[in-house]
Amino acid sequence: MTHRGGIWMIVAMADVHEPPAAPSSPEVGPAVARELVRSRLKQLREASELSPATVADHTGWSISKLARIEKGEVTVQPLEVRALLTYYGVDDPDEMAALARLSHASRARQWYSKHRLAGDFQRFVAYESEASTINVWQLLFMPGMLQTEEYARAVTGLSTRRSPDDKETLARVKLRMDRQQAFRERLVKPEPPRIVAVIDESVLRRPIGGPDALRRQLTHLLDLAAQPEAYTIAVIPLEMTHQSGIGGNFELLQFDTGQHGDVLFVEAANGFDSLTTASDATSLFRDILKDLLDYGRTGDDAIEMIEEIRDSIRTP
């Protein structure tokens, strides 16, 4: 290995096992691009039968840096990607160019960068910003992507045991409003996304923020439901016995590129969030979502139910 201008150059390794072909380079956002790069680099290293220690020694990286790259926790520069590909025995210029483009895309700064997010929640927000379909099941409160700011402040204050005007509460609400804005901005672009929200009836009746705030929230929900190309709203009645979602809330993100599987996110109190792309988990929650949509109220039936509940709210 030699160093030239800060970029390491490596002689191609001979007699390596031929790995499966790389994915093409579709137009994707940073989160999906990072996943495609990290999975392909790991795939190539393993097919070359090179240990992380061997690659780290050749690149001058620490083993932990290589591990973070292969886990998708950090990005890698396009020139470094090309050098790694050469070391792994890849000589296809199209594959090199495709992965270099994906590497460049993965490093693009996004709107959520200003919020200083971390961990699984940061990855979730990134994936949500690129998903073609955002599926949500909520058993306790209105889905974040459908909340009014008034409702968001009330529910965030309750869930974090803080005042609705607390600095931390307002920061969380600002992020939620920014997520909604990012979704709306994508609606005017080619291949716009959509939200499929399944809501338990109890959520529609729980007066978070008070009766007036709930009434305004339900009116907002009906306004969104009037845009069926972007928002699909379903309601699970309290009397429904086939309640597949009793296990808890979740968000299932799906992508149209064909290059990335579903992403499952479960948001918990006090930051104990969970994100997975494991197919056994995502397929299970796809089935749960299908059950909820099959047995719940959808379309005009859901809208009629929301209207009835809203109109029944009494002012103290």
> How many residues are there in the chain?
316
Distances (CA, A) of 124 to 5, 206, 211, 242, 248: 36, 27, 32, 29, 18
Structure tokens at 289: 């979502």
CA distance 292 to 285: 10
User: Which domains does the chain possess?
Assistant: 2-106 (1.10.260.40), 112-312 (3.30.870)
Residue where the block lists tokens 């799906």: 254
DSSP class of 233: E
Picking from 251, 221, 229, the residue whose alpha carbon sits closest to that of residue 125 is: 251
Tens digits of pLDDT across the chain (316 residues): 333 333 343 333 333 334 444 444 456 889 899 989 999 999 999 999 999 999 999 999 999 999 999 988 889 999 999 999 999 999 999 999 999 999 999 998 888 889 988 888 989 999 999 999 999 999 999 999 999 999 999 999 999 999 999 999 999 999 999 999 999 999 999 999 999 999 999 999 999 999 999 999 999 999 999 999 999 999 999 999 888 999 999 999 999 866 689 999 997 755 567 999 999 999 999 999 999 999 999 999 999 999 999 999 987 6
Could you tell me the strand order of the sheet in which 263-266 lies? 231-236, 194-200, 133-138, 250-254, 263-266, 274-276
Structure tokens at 105: 């895309």
Residues 269/201/124/180 CA torsion (nearest 10 deg): -110
Q: What is the pLDDT of residues 45-80, one digit of tens each?
A: 999 999 999 999 999 999 999 999 998 888 999 999
Q: What is the pLDDT of residues 196-217, one digit of tens each?
A: 999 999 999 999 999 999 999 9
The sign of the CA dihedral 140, 143, 147, 150 is positive
